[in-house]
Structure 1
Amino acid sequence: MPISIKDIVEAFEFANTGGNMGEFLAFVCKRTGKIYYQTDFPDGAEVNDELPDDIDDEEKYVALPDKGELRLGKPLVLDFAREFLPDNFDDVCYFSDRRGAYPKFKALLARRGAIDHWHAFEAKATEQALRDWCALHSIEIVG
């Protein structure tokens, strides 16, 4: 059953919002295209779906990956800097391995007037990575 790329992106974003607030998970049923959402966040009752008893069946369900699995964290930042901020590439490399790297990157983007360009670059890369991930997991997508 096909699922829209918009729904896959939305589930991916949900699954990557955890941080210190708790674990957020999203699963796709490869047969029906239904997405199931789960969180251990204390007030997440309105988000939590009743998970199927066989959610661990990898033939039927697959958990949405995190950004690291799709190389959408530091590697993407470096790709962007290499292509669009070549004069600042060494700076981005330097602070990318240190605490607070992403806020420093965002500050650099603001100084260079490149925030909107970064968001477009990130969205395009995320969608392509998710399309590739869906193909790898035999999830048919539309849109």
Structure 2
Amino acid sequence: MAYDTVDDAFHFVSDAPPGERSAVVRRTTGEVFLASFKAGYDERPDGFETNPDYRTIPHRQDLDPGKALVLEFIRSRCPAELTRVEALFARSGAFRNVKDLLRRQHLLESWQVFESQRIETLLRQWCEDQGLRR
């Protein structure tokens, strides 16, 4: 199975709020079936929920390590800001405020690359855990 197929489905699901879109992959064939509840279509086969050959593609929020990943990045790239970033997580809007800080530190692009690579690693691990072969 091509990783790119799962990655495309992952982005389809994750580009909408959780629960608005869904995708399942058939382990034996790698075929992906999409659903968009807001758009009113559902390609998923009947009975996929109880068929062990199908796996529901996770939403990014299901894989995202969130705060832990941000703190890992801060420790490695600008450790002097660690206390400030930890304090930001005590208030609402933490991720927005962290991104503002990274922008001021000229680290936003580095963060985006770091985050993207970590999400890819997590999705590849999910594929392996689900028995999806590359």
Whether TM-score is above 0.5 comes out as yes
Q: Matched residues in 1 for 2:43 and 2:59: separation?
A: 22
TM-score w.r.t. structure 1 length? 0.81
Question: Aligned AA for 1:137?
Answer: Q
TM-score w.r.t. structure 2 length? 0.86
Q: Matched residues in 2 for 1:17 and 1:37: separation?
A: 13
Aligned pair in 2 of structure 1 residues 13, 74: CA closer, same or farther (>3 Å)?
Answer: farther
- TM-superposed CA distance for 1:104, in Å, is 0.6
Q: How does 1:81-92 map to 2 (within 5 A)?
A: 81-92=74-85
- Report the aligned-residue RMSD: 2.0
Alpha-carbon contact 2:64-2:119 (below 8 Å) kept: no
Aligned equivalent of 1:34: 31
Deviations 1:65-93 (Å, cap 9, x if unpaired)?
Answer: 23344243222112111211211111221
Q: Matched residues in 1 for 2:95 and 2:11: separation?
A: 17
Deviations 1:23-66 (Å, cap 9, x if unpaired)?
Answer: 2222111111112222222xx24xx3421012113511111223
- Which structure's relative contact order is higher, taking Cα pairs within 8 Å and 6+ residues apart? 1
* 2:76 pairs with 1:78: no
Structure 2 unaligned regions, length at least 5: none
Aligned equivalent of 1:15: 13
* Between 54-63 and 111-120, the greater mean CA deviation after superposition: 54-63
Aligned equivalent of 2:99: 106
Question: Aligned AA for 2:111?
Answer: W
Alpha-carbon contact 2:14-2:59 (below 8 Å) kept: yes
Structure 1 unaligned regions, length at least 5: none
Aligned pair in 2 of structure 1 residues 15, 109: CA closer, same or farther (>3 Å)?
Answer: same
Q: How does 1:118-137 map to 2 (within 5 A)?
A: 118-137=111-130
Q: Matched residues in 2 for 1:87 and 1:112: separation?
A: 11
